[in-house]
Amino acid sequence: YYDSQFSKKKMKNFIERYNIDTSKCINSNFKTFSELFERRTIDKIDKTKEHLISPVYGKIKAYKINNNLIVNIKDSPYKIEDIVKNKDISKDYRNGTMLVIRMSLTDYHNFSFIDDGVIIKQYEIPGKLHSVRSISKKYKVYKHNKRTVTVMKTDNFGEVTQVEVG
């Protein structure tokens, strides 16, 4: 339904209710409700060592990674190993920093990489596409949802792993 032209009638109320500024969009002539979540913005990106580029719009939390780190996301506890499903990658980031960025309903749902660089490794972790809202009380969505893990050598930040949870 949300990919059809019939869903367009829901957009106006949604935009007004959540105060979404469509003037910052490259194209604000959305044909479907789904296109509203895929909107591209006109943001200028400053790629330098002084600026870490957020891969998505959302709420950010930072954690120092140690052997005992358990991150509580959507009322469920996670270890790094649960999310990346790779013990070698998990060990490589001990004493590093983990950023968790959660998109909300009103954030546009595109992502980018945090910096220019080269992909070293990329793999998919199969899973369901559970909604991260109501069903997250029943399922550990960040452990069971489909994920793409990308390990990169970045120009400004060294080796970084980015995990997109679908």
Quick: pLDDT tens for 59-103. Answer: 888 999 888 888 887 677 888 888 888 888 888 888 888 888 887
pLDDT at 141 over 50: no
> Residue 166 — very low, low, confident or very high, per pLDDT cuts 50/70/90?
low
d(CA 153, CA 158): 5
Residue 94 has a pLDDT of 83
3-class DSSP state of 89: helix
Helices of type H across 29-151: 33-37, 80-84, 87-92, 141-144
C-alpha dihedral over 43, 48, 51, 56, to 10 degrees? 50
> Does the pLDDT at position 122 exceed 90?
yes
| Per-residue pLDDT at 129 | 52
**Contact present, 5 and 31 (Cβ < 8 Å):** yes
Q: What does the pLDDT read at residue 121?
A: 92
pTM over 0.75: no
What number of residues does the chain have? 166
The encoded tokens of residue 143 equal 């452990």
Q: Hey, is 164 helix, strand or coil?
A: strand
**Contact between 42 and 151 (Cβ < 8 Å):** no
Residue 9 exposed, middle or buried by CB count within 10 Å (0-12, 13-18, 19+): exposed
**pLDDT one-digit tens code per residue, 14-42:** 888 888 878 777 777 888 888 877 766 66
In three-state form (DSSP H/G/I as H, E/B as E, the rest C), the secondary structure along 10-78 is HHHHHHHHCCCCHHHECCCCCCCHHHHHCCCECCCCCCECCECCCCCCCEEEEEECCCCCCEEECCEEE
More confident of the two residues 88 and 135: 88
